[in-house]
């Protein structure tokens, strides 16, 4: 099986570059790693510990359609990287996220998403805004990126 850091890089690249989407929610990434790697108990802490090894610039932004933060990478239409605050390999706008260091960033995401992840809610419906387990569409996409 693929290592989780390599899987996350492939996941974000496939979703953001190949599919031309803006990003994935943290619960979606955690659910994907749990399903597609041997790390069935993969956590928010594991994710943030591995991000420096992902070898892709990660941009956290607010997705108005989902009303959630999403993890993606840079696109042509984004502001230059120096516009964003950078902590390790993560970039974000200080108008959307107000943290001073990596520990505060991790705490923010634990506070916002640990209950969802603990309950097996990895996918947020675009239309209803309801959280659920990974959908069949999610699973088909995940299977397609590791071929």
CB 7 within 8 A of CB 31: no
- Position 77 scores a pLDDT of 87
pLDDT in tens, 35-69: 999 999 999 999 999 988 888 899 999 999 999 99
What is residue 53's three-state secondary structure?
helix
| Residue 137 pLDDT exceeds 70 | yes
Strand order, beta sheet including 58-63: 68-72, 58-63, 90-92, 85-87
pLDDT in tens, 116-136: 999 999 999 999 999 999 999
pLDDT in tens, 69-116: 999 999 888 888 999 999 988 999 999 999 999 999 999 999 999 999
- Position 1 scores a pLDDT of 52
- Position 30 scores a pLDDT of 97
- Position 96 scores a pLDDT of 93
Q: Using CA of residue 64, residue 124, residue 56, residue 97, what is the dihedral sign?
A: positive
pLDDT in tens, 16-28: 999 999 999 999 9
């Amino acid at each position: 099986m693929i290592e989780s850091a390599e899987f996350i890089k492939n996941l974000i690249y496939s979703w953001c570059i190949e599919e031309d989407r803006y990003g994935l929610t943290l619960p979606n990434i955690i659910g994907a790693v749990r399903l597609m790697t041997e790390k069935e108990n993969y956590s928010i802490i594991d994710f943030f510990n591995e991000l420096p090894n992902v070898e892709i610039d990660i941009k956290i932004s607010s997705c108005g359609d989902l009303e959630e933060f999403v993890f993606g990478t840079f696109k042509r239409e984004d502001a230059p990287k120096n516009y964003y605050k950078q902590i390790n390999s993560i970039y974000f706008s200080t108008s959307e996220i107000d943290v001073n260091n990596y520990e505060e960033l991790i705490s923010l995401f634990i506070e916002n998403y640990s209950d969802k992840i603990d309950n097996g809610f990895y996918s947020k419906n675009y239309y209803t805004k309801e959280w659920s387990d990974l959908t069949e569409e999610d699973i088909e996409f995940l299977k397609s990126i590791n071929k």
